[in-house]
Copies of this chain bind each other. A is one copy, B any other.
């Protein structure tokens, strides 16, 4: 089991779906990622929050053993995001974004964090991602990165630079097509692989995810759920399950990578069953194991 450092955003989310609404609930890419990965390994979180951030949210993370010594409280208000989903639940419509303290986020790693063996660069400015990588005292054994349309469009050069330095990229399908400039998803994934990462994980929402790993494809479906309440954070918990599992396994062979994909899909399936991190806060290791077993059954070809 290897320590896993994550650098990203912590936010307060206001989300409306056809099935309900939450106001200023705990959110943010690094939050979802670290909470989820904490089921598999020791997670250390680097992010920024405002003075208004509820202590109860921090307690949720520390209760799961997440190291929050890198969570800095800055002068001002916490990053806020508001969005809504229609019945198809596939794409959020952003209603409001208030960057607040996140606008001045400059991650600084202390001596110990610079030596973490597994690193996840959550969806932040690729220049910051590069800066974090540059702070590492030695090259981590695995560096994974997530990004989004905003950076693909506005910071393409910096993004390509950091992509050339990482092992794994997680990205959603529309963003993969945008990044590669290629409508065919398989060609797009191969094109992104040529940008540097030896593993490209393309997240497809309710359809699961595809991985290209050293040239070979692997597909996992999403777990079939009768009730999906809020897809917010599904991609980040997928990444948390995926990278968290890899950090626990400390192996990168083909079978481990594939099992990591299943764990990513399983963790995302729990996340969407409730708003914010609510389902994850009620989640047990036994439930994870049971759903992984059910997942195997879902795709098993042999009798």
Stretch from A55-63, A114-122, A293-301 contacting the other chain: A293-301
- Report yes or no: B184 in contact with A218, Cβ–Cβ below 8 A: no
The yes or no answer to A186 lying at the interface (CB within 8 A) is yes
Q: A88-B183, A207-B204 are in contact. Are A255 and B302 (CB under 8 A)?
A: yes
CA distance A260 to B268 in the complex (A): 29
Interface size on A, residues (CB 8 A): 38
CA distance A224 to B190 in the complex (A): 11
Restricting to A127-178, which residues have a CB under 8 Å from any CB of B?
A: none
CA distance A224 to B228 in the complex (A): 27
Residue of B nearest to A259 (CB): B301
Highest count of chain B CB atoms <10 Å: which of A87, A204, A217, A255 = A217
- Smallest beta-carbon distance A200→chain B, Å: 12
**This chain's copy number in the assembly:** 2
- Report yes or no: A226 in contact with B184, Cβ–Cβ below 8 A: yes
Q: A87-B183, A219-B221 are in contact. Are A301 and B190 (CB under 8 A)?
A: no
The yes or no answer to A253 lying at the interface (CB within 8 A) is yes
- Report yes or no: A219 in contact with B224, Cβ–Cβ below 8 A: yes
The yes or no answer to A208 lying at the interface (CB within 8 A) is yes
- Smallest beta-carbon distance A207→chain B, Å: 4
The yes or no answer to A254 lying at the interface (CB within 8 A) is yes
A224 interface neighbour in B18, B210, B253, Cβ under 8 Å? B210
- Smallest beta-carbon distance A249→chain B, Å: 13
CA distance A227 to B188 in the complex (A): 11
Q: Give the chain B neighbours of A207 by CB distance below 8 A.
A: 204, 207-208
Q: Give the chain B neighbours of A219 by CB distance below 8 A.
A: 208, 221, 224, 298-299
CA distance A206 to B177 in the complex (A): 14
Q: Give the chain B neighbours of A300 by CB distance below 8 A.
A: 258, 301
The yes or no answer to A93 lying at the interface (CB within 8 A) is no
- Report yes or no: B183 in contact with A301, Cβ–Cβ below 8 A: no
The yes or no answer to A225 lying at the interface (CB within 8 A) is yes
Q: Give the chain B neighbours of A262 by CB distance below 8 A.
A: 301
Restricting to A276-303, which residues have a CB under 8 Å from any CB of B?
A: 296-303
The yes or no answer to A187 lying at the interface (CB within 8 A) is yes
A301 interface neighbour in B185, B208, B299, Cβ under 8 Å? B299
A-B contact pairs, 20 of them (CB 8 A): A18-B183, A184-B225, A184-B227, A184-B228, A210-B221, A210-B224, A216-B297, A217-B224, A217-B298, A219-B221, A219-B298, A219-B299, A221-B221, A254-B303, A255-B302, A255-B303, A258-B300, A258-B301, A262-B301, A299-B299
In order of increasing CB-CB distance, the 3 nearest A-B pairs are A255-B303, A219-B221, A207-B207
For the A-B complex with A219-B221, A219-B299 known, give 19 more contacts whose Cβ atoms are closer than 8 Å: A18-B183, A88-B183, A184-B225, A184-B226, A185-B206, A185-B224, A186-B224, A186-B225, A187-B226, A190-B226, A204-B207, A208-B219, A210-B221, A210-B224, A216-B297, A217-B298, A259-B301, A262-B301, A299-B299
